[in-house]
Amino acid sequence: MDEHDYMRKMKENERLYMYGDLKDDHDPENSAEKTQKPTNPKDAVGIKKAPMSTVSAAVLAEVGVGMLEGALKYGRHNYRGVGVRASVYYDATIRHLFSWWEGEDIDPDSQLSHVTKAICSLVVLRDAMIQDKFEDDRPPRSVNFYEQLNELAAKNVEIHGDKNPHHYTIKDDA
C-alpha cells in the first residue's frame, strides 16, 4: 500500500468512526440525530466532508505565525517548490520537543512555543509527503525493539510497584 492509498484508507476510516457508520450500539450519543438535522439537507452532505471544527483554532493560529516565520525566511511554500529531506524535519521536530521537555517553553528565535514549532516542522514534512515532494532519507527499517522494551518496562513496574518515590517535575524548580 503506497502513501496515497494509506491516506485514503485513513480518511475513510476516520469518517466512518467520526460520523457514526462504526457506532457503538451501546452509546446513545452516537445516533444519527447527533450529526444531522432533519431540517437542513446540507447537513447530510456537510457531515461527510473533512471536518475542520475538530481542530483547535488557537493552535492553528499559532502554527500560522510559525509558518509565516518560515515563509519570511525561506519563501512561502518553499517546501513544495524544492521538496524536503525527512531527516531535516525529523531533527527540527525532535530538537523543539526536547527543548520543551527540558523546560524551555518558548523558542528564543521565534518567541513561539517549542511545541508549536515542532508542529510546524511536522506540517511541512507531512505536506511534502502528501505532495510527493519528500525525500525519504530515513535509515533502513529497524527490528521491532519496542515489544521487548515494553516487556522490560512492565517487569520493572511489577518489581518496583510497591515503592512510592518522589517524582521530580518542573514544579520542584520553584
Q: What is the pLDDT of residue 149?
A: 95
Distance between CA 83 and CA 124 in Å, rounded?
A: 10
Whether pLDDT at 167 is above 80: yes
Say which residue the cell 451501546 belongs to: 26
Q: What is the pLDDT of residue 64?
A: 98
pLDDT in tens, 36-55: 556 788 888 888 899 999 99
The structure's pTM equals 0.72
Whether pLDDT at 170 is above 60: yes
pLDDT in tens, 133-158: 999 999 999 999 999 999 999 999 99
Q: What is the pLDDT of residue 113?
A: 98
Strand residue runs (E) in 9-163: 84-85, 134-135
Say which residue the cell 507531512 belongs to: 126
Q: Between residues 17 and 107, which one has the greater pLDDT?
A: 107
Where along the chain do its domains lie?
Answer: 3-46, 57-135
Q: What is the pLDDT of residue 97?
A: 98
Q: Between residues 22 and 127, which one has the greater pLDDT?
A: 127
Q: What is the pLDDT of residue 23?
A: 47
pLDDT in tens, 66-85: 999 999 999 999 999 999 99
Computed over every residue of the chain, the mean pLDDT equals 87
Distance between CA 89 and CA 122 in Å, rounded?
A: 7
Angle between helix 114-130 and 57-74 (nearest 10): 70
Query: What is the average pLDDT across 11-27?
Result: 55
